[in-house]
Amino acid sequence: MIGRLNHIAIAVPDLEAAAAQYRTALGAKVGEPQDEPDHGVTVIFIDLPNTKIELLYPLGEDSPINGFLEKNPSGGIHHVCYEVEDILAARDQLTEHGARVLGSGEPKIGAHGKPVLFLHPKDFQGTLVELEQV
Ligand code: CO
């Protein structure tokens, strides 16, 4: 069921500084900031040859990233995103195996305009997992 690693998301305390570091120090192809009000984040995607990095910065006071940055003031890995072909089938298979889906349990539209779901980190070795239908 699980497909490619779509991206690794890193929460950052300074989006401009992080983007500049990837652009200049690492020579990466860095995209433009995108606001995602439904998810409470501003994101910048960085294209790597085999996957992407998603820089995450809080958008709004209720952003889920605020608490993460309070606990991790220098930033840190926030989630990994795996591709699946059928997100509802993947969700049903995972919940049958004891995983909990965050939020309503229904997919939301994610940063790439495709349906996404998040799985509870306590059910995945302490790692927040995003599933994206491709
Ligand atoms: Co993501």
Strand partners, 130: 81, 118
Residue-number span of the structural domain to which 66 is assigned = 2-133
- At position 131, the amino acid (one-letter code) is L
pLDDT value, residue 38: 85
- HSE (side-chain half, CA atoms, 13 Å) at 30: 18
What CATH number does residue 42 fall under? 3.10.180.10
Q: Using the mean position of ligand 1's atoms as its centre, give its distance from the Cα of residue 57 in Å.
A: 12
pLDDT of residue 9: 98
Whether the predicted model's global pTM rises above the 0.85 cut? yes
What is the C-alpha separation between 131 and 120, in angstroms, rounded? 12
Number of domains in the chain: 1
| Residues with Cβ–ion distance below 5 A, ligand 1 | 9, 54, 81, 130
Q: Which of 32, 36, 85, 130 is catalytic?
A: 130
pLDDT number for residue 112: 87
N-terminal to C-terminal alpha carbon distance within the chain: 12
d(C-alpha 77, C-alpha 124), whole Å: 14
Q: Which residue's entry shows tokens 């239908």?
A: 133
Q: Assess whether 85 carries a catalytic annotation.
A: no
**pLDDT tens track of the chain, all 134 residues?**
999 999 999 999 999 999 999 999 999 999 999 999 988 999 999 999 999 999 999 999 999 999 999 999 999 999 999 999 999 999 999 999 999 999 999 999 988 899 999 999 999 999 999 999 99
Scan for tokens 């997100």, then name that residue: 87
